[in-house]
Amino acid sequence: MAILITALSGVPTAKDGEGLIWPQMTIEIVPSLLGLGLGAMALMLSFSSGRFLEAIKQKGKDRSYLRKVMASFYHFALVLVAALVVAYIGKAQQHWLLSYIGVFLSTYGVLLTLGIVSRIWHTARIFNKVLEYDLPEEGAGNGRR
C-alpha cells in the first residue's frame, strides 16, 4: 500500500518555493507518531504486572503476545526514525531516489500507525478480560477461578 501511495501521489517530486515538500512534511509529522508509539509502549509496560503480565507472556513462549507487541512497537519506531533520517538528508541532498525512499518510509510509518493502534486496542481487551477474571462476583467473597 505504501509503495502504491508513494508511486501515485506525486509527493516525492512536489516542490514549493523552498524546494521539495516531503522532507518538511516528514519532519513535522513523524515525531508526533514516534511519541505516540513510545508513549503507548511505556504505558503498556507500566501496566504489565501480575496476572496481566502472565497472560501476555504466555508462559515464556518465543512467539508470546508480549514479544509480538514489543516487536511491533520496535518496527514502528525503526521505520519512523529511518524516515526522519532520510528526511534530514533529503533537505540537503535533493535526489529523486532519496525522495522516493523518504516518501515511502514516511507513508509506511503513517500506515503502521493503524497496526499500533490495533495492538493497543487488543491489549486493552486482554487487560479488561484479566480485570474481569480478578473481580469478585456479586455476593461472593472470592475472585472467579
pLDDT at 89: 95
| Per-residue pLDDT reduced to its tens digit, 101-126 | 999 999 999 999 999 999 889 888 88
Per DSSP, the three-state class of 84 is helix
| Per-residue pLDDT reduced to its tens digit, 3-49 | 887 888 777 677 877 788 889 999 999 999 999 999 988 887 787 66
Candidates 102, 95, 87, 114; CA nearest to 28 is 87
How many Cβ atoms from other residues are within 10 Å of residue 111's Cβ? Answer: 13
CB 39 within 8 A of CB 133: no
Residue 88 CA to residue 102 CA, distance in Å, equals 10
| Per-residue pLDDT reduced to its tens digit, 56-115 | 877 777 788 888 888 999 999 999 999 999 999 999 988 889 999 999 999 999 999 999
Residue 72 CA to residue 60 CA, distance in Å, equals 18
